[in-house]
Amino acid sequence: MTYEPDYSTLPLNTVEFPLPVLRRREDPIEAVHKIADEIGARPVTSIAEAQTAAYVASRLRRSGLQVWTDPFLTHASAGNDGLIIALLASVSIGIWNYNRLYALTIAVTTFVVAILLTNTFSRYFRRAASESQNVIATNASHGPATRRVVLLVPLDTHQPRDPIGSREAQVAATLALLTMLSLEYIAPLPLPVEVRTLLLIVPALYLLLAASAELWVRSQPFSAGAVSYASSIAAMLAAVDDLGRLNHTELWAVGLGGGTTGAGLTHLVKKYPFDARATFFIGLEGLGRGTLSYLLHDVNERSRSADDTLVDVFTEATRGVRAEPRVANFIPLVRPLTQAKRRAISVACLDHNGRVPLQGSAKDTTDAITPAIVEQSARLITNAVRLLDAHGD
């Protein structure tokens, strides 16, 4: 029943109106259960990824944000390209004793194909045939906006990790094979024939083993992704609820389709050319298990790549929150942004090796989540964004 005050019995200027019903702040663990347990594994471009996008959109819309979905085409998942590389390398070795020029030509082709199939180059020539989507939600500031904060979290989950090597390692092996064949063709090394033959065979054997490992990985089910990235989504939703409307900062909360492959982030930055100086990106990696950290850079970088202002803000935001600066032993979500000199930082929970615990593992379930860490993650994000709103340049 709706309350209607009796205006005739109230003195002037003392009319009381019913208070609005405040929406209950939802428990972040409810979101983790919804995404990791009910929806489950979320490969890129899958129905499960789309279901997660719909759920995140509905939650952000209930929080009062303006929400829309940006569809784009991308690759469904990593293919079995390592097998192509391994077969080409084996053919070059197989015909070496019959026609060395042909073998050398095939080795050159193998090296070029390996380069083109790396993540860096493959997107430029492989035709994207499946649809994914970014979920974008914005909240305008109370006053004139002088800056923008973009929270980024993947909607999809990782495949199990390749136990042997990356595509870059396969490129190195094809280069080693090409080098040895070239030396044998032009100026053989002063070594016994058996040793030179072994040096030719080793790279090809590695490529065959890597291809076998890749095929095995592709046959394994995707992770349910409670740590990566259901808990990260939950922390973002909780932070958005707690932040409300800021004074001078436009807030964007973005669920990235193809977040694990970089496709969603690439599409976002291409479609929305954010002002490089006034836009701050915060990437949310696996949150929910491990040591809560803000990442200065990763082990492949010699110096800090995180934005200095964001580092200072997160350092101050740790008051009342247990979090520390760390160096990541993986490539963070925001690496393409820092390489482009954008103002960005990643927040993650790390194990003692500097990695996100259980990422891509079948053990990455809701049982692995520490609820207090999800809450701490949300509080850290909230503190940092509020500080940036008050003091950011």
- 80 falls in which pLDDT band (50, 70, 90)? low
Burial of 79 (0-12, 13-18, 19+ CB in 10 A): middle
Residue 192 has pLDDT above 60, yes or no: yes
Angle between helices 371-391 and 308-317 (to 10 degrees): 120
CB of 249 closer than 8 Å to CB of 388: yes
Is the CATH number 3.40.190.10 carried by domain 28-76+129-160+222-391?
Answer: no
Across residues 244-269, what is the average pLDDT? 95
Q: Which amino acid appears at position 7 of this protein?
A: Y
Continuous segment of H or E residues that includes residue 283: strand 279-284
H-type helices in the chain, by residue range? 28-32, 47-62, 81-94, 100-116, 119-125, 167-186, 193-219, 231-243, 263-271, 308-317, 335-339, 371-391
Continuous segment of H or E residues that includes residue 69: strand 66-74
Cα–Cα dist 189/31, whole Å:
62
Across residues 15-42, what is the average pLDDT? 73
Q: Domains of the chain: which residue ranges?
A: 28-76+129-160+222-391, 81-121+163-219
| CA dihedral over 363, 367, 373, 377, signed as positive or negative | positive
Residue 1 has pLDDT above 90, yes or no: no
Q: What is the pLDDT of residue 174?
A: 93
From 46-50, 115-119, 141-145, the region with the lowest mean pLDDT: 115-119
Q: What is the pLDDT of residue 215?
A: 81
The single-letter DSSP state of residue 227 is I
CB of 222 closer than 8 Å to CB of 41: yes
Percent of the chain with pLDDT over 90: 67
Residue 22 has pLDDT above 50, yes or no: no
Angle between helices 81-94 and 100-116 (to 10 degrees): 170
Q: Beta-strand (E) ranges in 285-368?
A: 291-298, 324-328, 343-350
Across residues 230-256, what is the average pLDDT? 96
CB of 294 closer than 8 Å to CB of 323: yes
Residue 266 has pLDDT above 70, yes or no: yes
Cα–Cα dist 387/319, whole Å:
12
Q: What is the pLDDT of residue 362?
A: 86
Burial of 270 (0-12, 13-18, 19+ CB in 10 A): exposed
